[in-house]
Structure 1
Amino acid sequence: MAKKPAFVFLNRTAIDPNGCIGTLYDGYRDILCEKLPWIEENKLTDVIKKPQCIIKKGKNNQHGNFLQIINIPEGLRLSILLRLAENNGISSIIDYPYPINDYNRFLLYSYVYEKEQISDKINKTQNMIKLVKSTAAATHIIAGISYGIDIVVVLQLPFENTIVKEIDNVLQRICTHLNNQQNTLILSSDDENTLEQITNTMVYSNIPYLIQLSTIHDVYLYIDDKKNQSIHHPIMYTLQPIKWLFPDIDHPSVNFNCLSSELDTEIEQYLIYLSDTLKNLKYSLDFFNNRLVYNNIEGQIREKQHQWLTLFEKCEHIIVRLRKWIIDIRKNRTGASKNDQFFNHVEHKKFETSAKILQEDLDDFKHKEQLIIDLKNQHFEYCNVSELNLNKSNYKKTLLCKLKIKNENNKILCTNDTLNKKNTAKINNLRSQLAEEYKDNKNLCLIYADFSYSSVELKDIEILITSQMNNKEKNNQKRTSSIMSKINTSISTESKTSTLQQLSSSSITNENINILLLGETGVGKSTFINAFVNYLKFQTFEQAQSNTPVVLIPVSFLMTIGDNFEECLVKFGDFDTLNNEDFDHPGESVTQHCRTYEFYFNDNDNKKLCIIDTPGFGDTRGIDQDDLNMQDILEYINNLTHLNAICFLLKPNTSEFHTFFRMCFIQLLDLLGPNVRQNIIFCFTNARSTFYTPGDTGPLLKTMLKSLSIDDISLKKMNTFCFDNESFRYLVALQNGIKFNDDEEHDYKESWSISVKESNRLINYIHKNLMECHLNNQWISIKRAQIEISHMIRPMLETILNCLRNIILCKINKSITMISKAIHRPASICLSCKPYPFQINNFWIARNIPHEILKKCLICSCPIEQHISIHYVLNYEYSNKSINNQLNEIKNMINQLCFAGAEFDYFLVHIARISKNDLFLSGLIRMIDEENKLCQNQKSNHLNLQLIKELIQLKYQYENRIEELKFNQQLIDLSFIDKQITIVRAYPLIEIQLDTMKQTQKLMTEPYEISQN
């Protein structure tokens, strides 16, 4: 008989616990294949009961080769780092999220209860040989298994050497006891208090229960309790090559090639470099959570979180490439040289460059935090100007309006990081001088306006002094030619009272005069707003010509010039990604989202004229886009306290109205109620061609209103206003260097004069004739219910999710506080993009990075349909307070919110039939999917796994409630839904988020102060 060949066996840590004697093994990827049938007589079992406990100390800047620290075999380490093998059990340590330092301790404990192996007298059957041949991926077979307990505990000790010595002493006693298997070690109360000084404990084990433990004391008690029990959790597999069992087998997979130790180590070090780079950057990013700097530059930090996700994807591409290369080597295939795979590869260079830039930005954030602390000590208020949505042309006025404070004596120091570096002495002197001024005048308000992240580029450091502005205002008030008195004079020579003085009359009780501007796409709403502010600012054509026009909204239009009627594209204003306009898609609404433009009149600080610009309807993208635009409009105005006027902007001589124009009327009245009809006015643009009359549009409009049975909306001279936007376009064309002849200039002068008079008449009509339409939610309608519900779905779901987290955490007397924060620009979350994961109180939370959309997403290339609009972002804070005393109350609230969600969905889909989707259920399913993805990617996830179970149970409750409603044929009427809306809104956690949504709307308001020349 031929001599049996010598085979080299392999040891592999049992990271997949499902292996047994006879299981086939893919050594290329270090994963289990199918199990062979095996009879007990072919197995040998030895009871060992051998413990081993070791404590290792961490080192500062230690490379994160955790797998080597915990004695994972060499080849398997590489497979785990390449994610060829799933990191379960103790191998999950590679996801340890913190840098290693001198104050880390690793407690490694292994207790081998028994060993099982294949008998030498095994009977190899023909059936088994056939089965092996069908498994081309298998290279080895499990020939032996060690069973027992395998634990790694990573401890972060406090940075105090005295306490560290005490902790090390207790840990060493525990380790000695576990090695010697003595009687139970009794820890004194002092010992327990010492162990409680450990700041963080992470447990990794082949036993799922142990992963849930959060203290070293609990881990010790578990081990001590189980040490003499039969434990059948695999620790280590012993592998033999397939040919050891089947010498005659002959297929390519049996040729397994182990990498040389040198190459294996080199690849490991490279992968650890990639991993450490990502971990250190993420740790630095997460370090800013809940710190002073986060509240001030949150948008910039979230941008860096998105960059980290992009960097993570680059790393994934590198790993995928290396993964293929390693498999080729293990299969004895020729592959690229190692020099081409590592630092010289183009993917590595891109990764390294991006990582370096991100690290520099994070270092800048640390400097920024110190700057903010120093400014606070000098009594400055820090202002991140990027959150104010300033534009380049009139940033000073807008800044002063947005930072308006009751105290007149304000000084705003405007600068950025670049200017500070170039002018270190100057900025330090200015800060010191202003700080000294504050000492002498405690009423002085100092503001540091940081333009570092703004699109506005400062040429030099400057100080804006609002007291000087106010002095000018006082002088202006003394003049008899104030702008608003001119408005009144142009209307009536009999009245000596200015229009602004009439603001105190009974018809105007709020500080804001809100005018909603509606119209079809292309009618010129944004141009009208630009023109309107110029009509108020420049009372004469000569004034307008001799000054730069005010352009609140960028304008772009074609103008025919010259004798040959040549077309010329005219542009004016700030064209960048920060504006709300899109001129690149003709026929589509230029305005992307609703936005309010506030006009402050400088001789009265109490009243503001607010014109709300809206997306146009009749969009060439179709009725679905019109529906989205209308929903945006209705949701926006639903957050207002009142409306003074609803202005429909039209063109004269319209031959027919778009179908959606009729729907606009119907939905507005449904939302706002019949009283709003008295506040509807009509404005006509480009009316010079019809001699400043509505033209043929007038009769057409009356016919449409009559067909809708809303005759009480009047269309008369008093509520109809005719303008000519061409005179404003003339001003903009002058700025573009376009010349006009005398006849054209005469026409524009006349147009300007008429448009100024109409502007004054419009304001006066609103002041004198229209009562405020209060939007106090007393009017109940299906449309209002739909909008209220759509607003509440996210707050309801987020409240449920965080309350479920806190119910789970109450067992360890912890909790997480959820904080909503307003955003200053329209934003969406992308359902396709990966969220940014971060950990708080051992819970993994997915932070969705806000995306900005301008026809397409500016952050990712995913379809628009994959984006969901948001009105606020959420932050979370760790708390040592438990919710135990509120537990029943919180559970009841969760159940009530779940039932309300089901009732809202049932009403909108089955009763009102105005929604195709179950909004609450869709959001709940998204949350479950998001938690599942977190658990797939983050292995220390036992709390999140509990959360998933709770969410699934809640989904069952929702479905049962829906079935009850269907089975009982229970009709949920509008009054019932309205009561439910009121109940849900009253929950404090919901109310806070709804208030934040209103703050977001306020932040997106664009103020402009109208002052005299």
Structure 2
Amino acid sequence: MGAANSRTEPISQRSGKYLSNSQVFPLDQGIQRLAIDPSGAIGSLYDATKDQLLSGLPLYISRRLISLRNEVNPVVVTSGRLKARDLLEMIGIDKELYLSMYLNLTKSKGASLLQNYPFTNNEYTRYFFFHQKTKHSYLAANQFVENAKDNPNILSANMDATHVITEIQYGIHVVVFLQLAPDNVTALDELLERIQAQLVRNTFSVKTNEKPLYEQFTDVKVFSNIPEIVNLTKLQDICQKIHQIRTNVYQYPPMKYTLRPIRTLCPWFSTEKGVFVPLSKGLINETELYFYELSTIRKELHMSLPSAKEQSILTYFKQAYEDLQQRQMKINQSYPTKMNRLRATLLAIRCGTIKQNQMQDSLVDHEAKALLRDCRNIIEQRENLVEKVQLVNELKQRNIEYWNVKELALSESENLDLIEEELMRKRPGKRIFCFDDDLKREYLGEWNKHLDNLFNGEKTSNLVFADFSFCSIQPSKLKIISLNETIGPRKSLWEDSSGKSSARKRFRLDPTNVSTNKHVNILLLGEVGVGKSTFVNALINYLKFESFEKACADKPVTAIPVSFPLAVGDQFEEHVVELGGVDANEDHRNPGQSVTRQCKSYVIPISAQLNIRLIDTPGMGDARGLNQDDLMMQHILSCINNYQYINAICIVLKPNESRLNVIYRSYFTQLMSFFGEKIRNNIVFCFTHTRATFFAPGGTAPLLKRMLHSNGMKNIVLKKSNTFCFDNEAFRYLIARENGLQFDVYQKEEYLRSWETSVKETSHLLQYICKDLKPCERQSWQSIENAQWQINKLIRPTLEAIRNNIRNVLLVDKAQSKTFIRLHPSAVQRNVHLCLHCPSVPVLCQDFWVVPDDPHVVLDQCSRCQCSAAQHLKVNYVLKYETTTDKRIQSISDMKTNVSLLQQWTIGLVDFFRYLSRIPKENDPLLANLNRIMEEEKSIISQKQQQQTTPNLFLYEELKTFRKEYEKFWALSTSARKPMNLTDVYKLIKNLSKDGVISEQLDAIKQTQQLYMQEREILVS
């Protein structure tokens, strides 16, 4: 947006009609700005760091040095569908100025106010734009420097000045937003074209037969640098006023300023002042796009629903709507603080106190991106509620009952079968159609077919629509249940209908070009509904069967259970085909459930030396909540962190998307943030459903390239060698045949061609990954986010090591004990938590009271107590305590040195949290854990006050002193010490990890992770 307005080429090149080279200032430092404040004159002082025209006197400049030329420039008049970003560019709001306006560094006036206007933008919205440049004043450079020395007093009164106005372009710009009457769109668009032609010819008149048409322009809003125009509300009055003003060039206000750095004109000006550092191209593009999207989405967020719609939502979905309102309130409350932080960072960059090439993170960091995602998510959920109300009303008109399953008085069971049985008993004579929003969205075609069949079939009064959208557990497919149906026993993943394991051949792939690693680890990422699970199943079958004929003669492999509706036969009869049994743990279509939305890997043996490991991940971009997307992305990264290397990251997409889900931008940003720059070479793109696009990426490819380019990710390249196109209809055909469905010869030939092409593409994909890509090793994953992961894992082990080392120092120092306390960490199964609310039970260990970890298993609720999930702390190992007389325990002096060293290293993490990760003190995870440990000691002292607690008192005081030192480090300014870089952080991590007590706890964490990975891995053999 507006890149032309920040160009730095010579003025003589931009307006060469009247300037010679000798009249031009040094050129690579000038900037142009829209004249938001029209009071500027040649010599006025300007603060470019805030984009503010300073209110003091301008520099004294002799009038004979200022040239004024009247110009004859063509009029620019356009109209059409509204694209707000294009309009900002048209009127001259460049990207730097846009950031200043959005962050309230400067106040919007005149035409620039349009960037804050919450306009409605739909198919009936139009804009009308008028622009004309007239006179132009400018300053000759060679004499200005001599005279500028007479102005020291003015400059000393304006020490914030960075630039001086040296050129002013006068003219008119007018932007009009308006709405067309929906029943007369063509005639009104034609009228706009006639108005456009008249103003270009410098005429304007309204014909008698056109007057009724002018009345059909509504919601007219004007933005202009001409004050007399902005309050007009009728298009004909606006056009008439423009025509009148054009006859008097002296009425034209400033439209654009050209600014030169003050030190190029006044070299004696303070070198400490006058500094302005523009953002780099990549940073400005990314930052401007972010704020534009945030501005657009917040305008939409603050638009109230029509009262009738809002009342309907409150009638049916009051709790869900109030939850959204509460979330919006929290966003509104935190928004000023977040903008203040971004504003301060932007100013620091522009003033040169933060060097862009030394920034470890973008100006738009994780917290800023989370804000945008949260705003977008609220809008999507609000729109979803509106659609849901429409469905409920339609059902009522057809005498169909609607149930919000969450609001029914059902048991708290997490078993879907039991919930369905309760629903059937609630209405014994009814047919209950079970669905949720994700199934509806993912299988929209099937959903519409279901509605047609249900609405046009039997009596609709016999139907109930059971909506699971707000429940913690949901159906795996669209289905109808009744008391006549029974739920059979579940089969194991690899059992066929007879209950016997299906025999399968080993897959063949030439491993000669593969590295010595036994596994090729391929991570699959994609949004909900893109077909990743089908892609995994299809890929396995492409590898297993050498030909389509052999695949048809054998039973297809379904590593992931499949179920989908299919219309076949001359009458297009619909059948639900499925294979592989039902397993709720494998259902990736239910967002927000930790038991079902988990990473899972499928290991495919190729040879004795080689296995392909496909790492399937939860689908992202769920409309139910960006918070859930964030949690899922954190889960994915946590899962990846268990592997020693990644061979490839496959981004799975559909061809011919009309727009790309913003989740893909989040994918690339977070992947680069976690793995570092090197991972870009291991990213490949896999397109599904490409038979309709002749096995090509279709329209998605240019959208993807544009997204990568606009977000400063040019190093991630979409090219032929890393792009692979599949069509998995042949696999679905195999599943349908297994269900007994018949197909004609033509269909079989189509599926044969699809199979052959996809098999070849599978071979190309694996050969490319194995031969052309170098595995991205974990030791190379150096980034701020990766360091944050490792530090988070170290926090509890480090603090427990410090606490126990202090215990042992006190045992020797105070009691001359030769018996010590030793930590005994143990691995745990997943979902183990510690309850922070239930009373602890201290036990005596040597002279200290300690609290052994008492594990609670928490899914949606705790299995042992009634405390909420928020009152539980998830842990990846548990601690017990034992005594030892091991002579290998260090001497007292060594123990004290070790405690001091651990504390010193731990305090060093403040720099990481504060200056690299940019976490505020109140969100410091280490400080939060330290406070928890101290509260535990405080609770022990309180509980055992009638007994001997002196050692625990000493321990508490030592921890208190440590916390004081830690917090003191937070208060130190950056200049008080050498700033920490990423290399220093990894050295600190390495030092902490080598400590013996910490290392034992890390081993327990590793065992926990291995248990989890084993549980979530299936060997396809």
Question: TM (normalized to structure 2)?
Answer: 0.45
Larger Rg computed on CA atoms: 1
Question: TM (normalized to structure 1)?
Answer: 0.46
